[in-house]
A and B are shown apart, each in its own frame.
Chain A
């Protein structure tokens, strides 16, 4: 399955159904990430039921603590 993540095309060897699965595949902690799917902001409580399809554009900005 192909997705465009932060401007780069990424190929996944399995189907990714929703944002939660995508973050899992990217090894990103879903609590510490800002996600936009095709230009729409998705808050973390919606990750699980927001579906992802082939060629979707995803912007993922993940954070670690400290400041």
Chain B
């Protein structure tokens, strides 16, 4: 029968236990993961198709193993589907930089990202950038950061202000995350996606400002194609700011919903 060790198929005899397998094929292991479970029972008998990921301390794995190890805590069938997905992100601020990072870590195959702005000091309280990136275009800073996270997501970056004329950059995307700050831009994006690509799903955000309870952030399904994450009320105005936590909760809900849509779990 065949099992997989760090993404590579190995033919083994039936009835072999995990400990026997490791002793023979990877005796220097430091951490082992069996079918997404960390530190499994070593006496367990292996089955056809089992997925074993083992990691040796202090050694940089090759790309095949790195990919297997990176996604060893999530089901392989999910990773496969996510690797085939193309997701658009409009805006790389407090929402978009978090949505994007979550999707890269989850293994989405391709992102199309767009933002016209540069990283500013006031972004750092919630957006996933670094001090030495102040002044850089967010698109470039985002790509730079994500290249340190994963080798398994292609990122197509567009430094531009999205409007109804250039929304075509998202034409190959399965789902588009609306992650703007400006409500006028949010509305324009939704209108132009609906007009040009009515078959596409939009996961937008509205009402993520301030310090209201995290419990008030919910998903409203407007139709099969439009979801709104947020409380739909809390806007940026005097004394009501934006925080890493509340904006981040909304962004995580957006990205989780996108993953569920890609996996076909959202009905």
Which residues of A line the B interface, CB within 8 A? 6-7, 29, 31-36, 41-44, 59, 61-67
Contacts and interface: CB of A to CB of B under 8 A. Distances in A.
B67 interface: no
Interface residues of B, number: 38
Interface of B: 91, 93-96, 164, 179-184, 186-188, 190-192, 194-195, 204-209, 222-223, 226, 228, 230, 232-236, 242, 247
A65 B151 CA distance: 34
A41 B180 contact: no
A34 B194 contact: yes
A61 B234 CA distance: 15
A31 B236 contact: no
Nearest to A33: B187
Contact of A31 (B187, B204, B230): B187
A63 B204 contact: yes
B191 A41 contact: yes
Contact of B179 (A33, A65, A67): A67
Q: Which 10 A-B pairs give the minimum distances between C-beta atoms?
A: A64-B235, A66-B209, A32-B183, A34-B190, A41-B195, A63-B186, A63-B183, A67-B181, A67-B95, A66-B236
A44 B228 CA distance: 20
A32 B187 CA distance: 6
